[in-house]
Amino acid sequence: MQSLWLVSQLLVCLALGFVFAKRLPASLTKICFKVLPYFSYILLIAIAFEFSELLTELPYPAQILNTSITIAFLTSIGAFGCCYLLFKWADFQPSSGRVSTELVIKSLINISYAFFALAAGYLLHYSFTQMGLSVQISTWHLLLVFMFLIGLDLAYSPLDRSWLNWKILLVPAGCIAGSCVAAIAYSFWNPDIHLKDLIMLSQGYGFYSMSGVVITELRNAELGSIALMNDLFREIFAILLMYCAGWRYPRSAISAAGATAMDVTLPMVKQACGNDFIPHAMVSGFILSILAPVAVSVLAVI
């Protein structure tokens, strides 16, 4: 019953942000949009702070990192490959684009901010511990605020109804199916993690600021740690795929980007894939951003 209550909180906050977005005062909305790009880093600092307390209880931290990177790599490749096969079946030809070294460097710098936020959270916890201070941070309540802001952002996303066609919907479908296939494949490699848990971990779609907190609350800290690092590295692999193959296979690269396609990796889509593929990124990112917290939460409680 408590699990259902926690899941409903996430959905309600997301819905409230979406429904009331255009009813809020313009000044408040403006503040929310200014805060949103930085709020994920605030949440990451809080996550690292809270996870630092649990770090000593985790049996094999290095193994958790290795597991996270492996799942992230396989799900990214799985999404890319599955989307490629779907569009090949639909008889779509590869495209051609170009890449920029400047944007690659800028993107990698942005990713490094996430790692700096995690380090800051750990150092903050270490400092308080050395000073003998006991400080508690509620990552769950911060996540609820973040879900509200995400809902608000989705309400203002420039989606066009004409974009909702079956061809574009193959992009998120490829991400969902490819992620599941990758999780099933990894279950043969690492039987120590239940298949249901692997599928749950695969459904974060790069939404790292959500998955770690949700899975920690609904399951345990070990799986929550894997989820956090998995989706963080999944975003990194998405960026690498975008620049290495997005110019040739744009839809597959967008599929691998998961939920990040409508925000973090959107500038890369525009340059590496071209403006023609912005609808693919917006629709896929929109669908997966809404589906990720629902899928992760439901799979965590069943």
Nearest to 230 by CA among 163, 292, 140: 292
Q: Pick the most confident of 42-51, 221-230, 239-248.
A: 221-230
| Alpha-carbon Rg for the chain in angstroms | 19
List the structure tokens of 145: 């605020």
The values of phi and psi at residue 135, to 5°, are -120, 135
List the structure tokens of 246: 């997005």
Q: Are 206 and 258 in contact (CB under 8 A)?
A: yes
pLDDT score of 1: 44
Q: Pick the most confident of 80-94, 189-203, 229-243.
A: 189-203
pLDDT score of 171: 93
Q: How many beta carbons lie within 10 A of that of residue 181, not counting itself? A: 17
Give Cα 168 distance to the centre of its chain: 20
What is the per-residue pLDDT across 164-179, written as a single tens digit (0 to 9) for each? Answer: 777 889 999 999 999 9
The string of DSSP letters for 143-175 reads HHHHHHHHHHHHHTS---GGG-SHHHHHHHHHH
Nearest to 275 by CA among 152, 158, 172: 158
Q: Are 136 and 200 in contact (CB under 8 A)?
A: no
**H-assigned helices in 56-97:** 61-89
Residue with tokens 């999944």: 234
Alpha-carbon distances of 191 from 184, 265, 272, 302, rounded to whole Å: 10, 33, 38, 20
Nearest to 80 by CA among 205, 179, 164, 188: 179
pLDDT score of 177: 96
**H-assigned helices in the chain:** 2-20, 26-55, 61-89, 101-130, 139-155, 166-189, 195-202, 208-218, 221-245, 250-257, 266-268, 278-301
pLDDT score of 82: 94
Q: Residue 283: pLDDT above 60?
A: yes
Q: Residue 135: pLDDT above 60?
A: yes
Averaged pLDDT score across all residues of the chain: 82
Q: Are 200 and 193 in contact (CB under 8 A)?
A: no
Give the lowest-confidence range in 98-102, 125-129, 256-260, 266-270: 98-102
What is the per-residue pLDDT across 259-278, written as a single tens digit (0 to 9) for each? Answer: 888 777 777 777 777 777 87
pLDDT score of 255: 94
List the structure tokens of 220: 């345990």
- Under DSSP, the state recorded for 270 is I
What is the per-residue pLDDT across 10-41, written as a single tens digit (0 to 9) for each? Answer: 778 888 988 888 888 888 888 988 888 788 78
- At 221 the three-state DSSP class reads helix
Nearest to 205 by CA among 96, 79, 18, 89: 79
pLDDT band at residue 254 using 50, 70 and 90 as cut-offs: very high
- Residues 198 and 190: their CA atoms lie apart, in Å, by 10
Alpha-carbon distances of 75 from 104, 161, 255, 274, 286, rounded to whole Å: 22, 29, 11, 24, 19
pLDDT score of 163: 67
- Residues 172 and 205: their CA atoms lie apart, in Å, by 10
pLDDT score of 95: 56
